[in-house]
């Protein structure tokens, strides 16, 4: 997740202060408007599609089969130390029960409840993920799990409880090669930019490449995620920008390329209709004199969701 994310309403990467302020104002409702509970109803079909449909499973199996073809191709070309980087949430672990738990409530995604879900270690594996990752680890590759989950639930604590829980959960569902060095969460390998700590995933990807992660330099041949930001965090905020980015890098989706001896990793997308930057990409908060999508009310979000539709209406 992972992550600029928007857990249908927001997510662990774009978070805390704005979300909490939004919760305070949204639970009050607005005259003539809708509540978060009503907005949450719109997620029912998406969550059911993930949990119930054969089509969702077909697409995840397809994605991991394609990833295996890329790995086998890299091995055949004798690429040194091939590595696969996977996001965690909605890429290898299924958090749809958390999303389903928001239905019939006036709640939105909150760090406290999200961390509680993580610490229960109940997420199941995405179909096809265990087989693929274990195949790579067995056949001489290395898989790194790079996520914007936080390491700990209390910033001042020395106990990395969320990382421990994440590692436990990954192991429990059958993933091999899971340890402190291969699971890299938000807050690890950060950089100071303009005096501020920058927690971009890119620094963790770089750590895999330059040997900082586990002492060995790897060639990344594939990035797997449910969000375009898992591949490139500069894809843009609006959906128009994001669609343009996909079109510009269309040759990267599904296959890695070697240009002048440099490997350009494959981008392999896992379907996630429940939440993500695609949702916040629909919103124009400035239309309501807001600075961020997370300051928008449920009614404002609902309005812009409808306005984003391309519609055909039958003649009366």
- Give the residue extent of every domain in the chain: 16-305
Strand 257-259 with 124-125, pairing: unpaired
- Please say whether the beta carbons of 87 and 228 come within 8 A: no
SS3 119: helix
pLDDT in tens, 11-46: 444 444 344 444 444 444 565 699 999 999 999 999
Which CATH number does 16-305 carry?
A: 3.40.50.1000
Kindly tell me the burial class for residue 303, based on how many C-beta atoms sit within 10 Å of its own C-beta (0-12, 13-18, 19 or more).
middle
Q: Give, for all 316 residues of the chain, the pLDDT tens digit.
A: 544 443 333 344 444 434 444 444 444 456 569 999 999 999 999 999 999 999 999 999 999 999 999 999 999 999 999 999 999 999 999 999 999 999 999 999 999 999 999 999 999 999 999 999 999 999 999 999 999 999 999 999 999 999 999 999 999 999 999 999 999 999 999 999 999 999 999 999 999 999 999 999 999 999 999 999 999 999 999 999 999 999 999 999 999 999 998 999 999 999 999 999 999 999 999 999 999 999 999 999 999 999 999 999 999 8
Q: How far is CA 311 from CA 60, 93, 120, 165, in A?
A: 29, 34, 42, 44
């Amino acid at each position: 997740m992972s992550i600029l994310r928007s857990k249908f309403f927001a997510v662990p990467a774009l978070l805390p202060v704005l979300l909490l302020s939004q919760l305070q104002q949204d639970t009050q409702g607005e005259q003539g408007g809708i509540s978060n509970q009503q907005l949450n109803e719109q997620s029912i079909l998406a969550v059911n599609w993930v949990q119930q449909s054969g089509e969702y499973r077909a697409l995840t199996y397809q994605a991991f089969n394609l990833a295996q073809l890329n790995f086998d191709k890299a091995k055949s070309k004798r690429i040194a130390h091939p590595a696969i980087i996977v996001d965690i949430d909605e890429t290898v672990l299924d958090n749809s029960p958390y999303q389903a738990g928001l239905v019939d409530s006036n709640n939105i995604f909150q760090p406290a409840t999200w961390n509680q879900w993580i610490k229960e270690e109940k997420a199941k594996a995405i179909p096809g993920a265990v087989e693929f990752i274990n195949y790579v680890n067995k056949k001489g590759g290395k898989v790194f799990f790079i996520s914007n989950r936080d390491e700990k639930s209390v910033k001042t604590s020395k106990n990395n409880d969320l990382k421990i829980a994440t590692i436990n959960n990954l192991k429990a569902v059958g993933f091999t090669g899971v340890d402190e060095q291969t699971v890299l969460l938000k807050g690890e390998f950060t950089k100071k930019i303009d005096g501020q700590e920058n927690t971009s995933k890119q620094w963790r990807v770089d750590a895999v490449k330059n040997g900082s992660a586990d002492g060995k330099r790897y060639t990344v041949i594939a990035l797997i995620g449910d969000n375009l930001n898992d591949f490139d965090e500069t894809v843009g905020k609006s959906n128009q920008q994001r669609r343009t980015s996909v079109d510009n890098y269309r040759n990267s989706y599904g296959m890695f390329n070697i240009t002048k001896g440099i490997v350009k990793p494959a981008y392999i997308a896992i379907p996630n209709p429940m939440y993500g930057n695609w949702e916040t990409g629909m919103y124009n908060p400035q239309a309501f004199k807001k600075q961020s999508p997370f300051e928008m009310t449920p009614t404002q979000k609902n309005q812009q969701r409808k306005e984003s539709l391309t519609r055909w209406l039958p003649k009366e």
